[in-house]
Amino acid sequence: MRKSLRLTCGVAALVLAGCSVQVQNNTPDKFQANPDIGMYPIKATVTSGAMVSQPIYLYDVGSGKKIPLKSDPTGTRWSAMLPVRCQNSFKLQYLAIWRLQGLATKQRLFPAQPIEVKLTPPPLTQEATIDTSGAPKKGVWQGPVAYKFATAANTQITGAKIEPLGKSPADVLSAKQIRIVSAFPINAECDKSTAITLASRVRQAHAKLVIDTSLPGKMSKWTTKVTFQPKPSA
């Protein structure tokens, strides 16, 4: 009986499907990076032939480590949370391991070559308020505008400038009251808050802080609205 089964699985193409496992990737091809959690859901669908014995084992091996996936009660839908930090992408490849009835253990990679899942940078700080409630030091109020980067081990803030919020004389005058104290470039470690220090000669002022970064694409430049004002009384 065992020899007959081995012959059937090795020769007949129609029956061969009954001896195998197929894995279909259902993971999106990109996520917005989440620096707070640093975990991303990976999903796959598994189908198996009639001659495949349970249980089936499924792992993600794209990173070089074996990350086990768990199946739902039907055994068809599999999922796991994949830990990824300080990267702009990760590789995904499934290793399925199964056993035929009365035969040796089988395994196969799906797909044959790893696929790449992109991680897009999350938005940086869009607005920042610097408190001017206390007395100025040496005639100016100072405060930080903080940024956190999530898709590279190290990011550089290569430069920055102050621009008016609008074209009105009041906006232009307000921007002239603010200056950048920090020196550039600034090295920013992944997932850590990195600040640019600003100073204002007046208690109330507003402007745009435009920074240049080493990140590619749209994140190479970022604009933050900055307001110097006293903290509201409780």
Domain boundaries, the chain: 2-120, 127-229
Q: Is 40 helix (H, G, I), strand (E, B) or coil?
A: strand
Superfamily of domain 2-120: Immunoglobulins (2.60.40.10)
Q: How far apart are CA 50 and CA 21, in angstroms?
A: 10
Mind listing the pLDDT tens digit for each residue in 177-214?
A: 999 999 999 999 999 999 999 999 999 999 999 999 99
pLDDT of 218: 86
Q: How far apart are CA 224 and CA 127, in angstroms?
A: 5
Q: How far apart are CA 59 and CA 79, in angstroms?
A: 10
Spatial contact of 97 and 105, defined as CB atoms under 8 Å apart: yes
Beta bridge partners of 97: 57, 107
Superfamily of domain 127-229: Immunoglobulins (2.60.40.10)
What does the DSSP 8-state code read for residue 218?
A: G
User: Look-up: residue for tokens 């897009």?
Assistant: 120
pLDDT of 234: 63
Q: What is the mean pLDDT of each run of 10 residues along the chain (234 residues)?
A: 43 58 98 93 96 94 96 96 96 96 89 97 96 95 97 96 98 98 97 96 98 93 97 78
Structure-block tokens of residue 122: 């999350």
- Angstrom CA distances, 194 to 124, 142, 148, 154, 187, stand at 11, 16, 6, 11, 8
Q: Is 170 helix (H, G, I), strand (E, B) or coil?
A: helix
**Prediction pTM value:** 0.82
* Residue 100: how many other CB atoms lie within 10 Å: 18
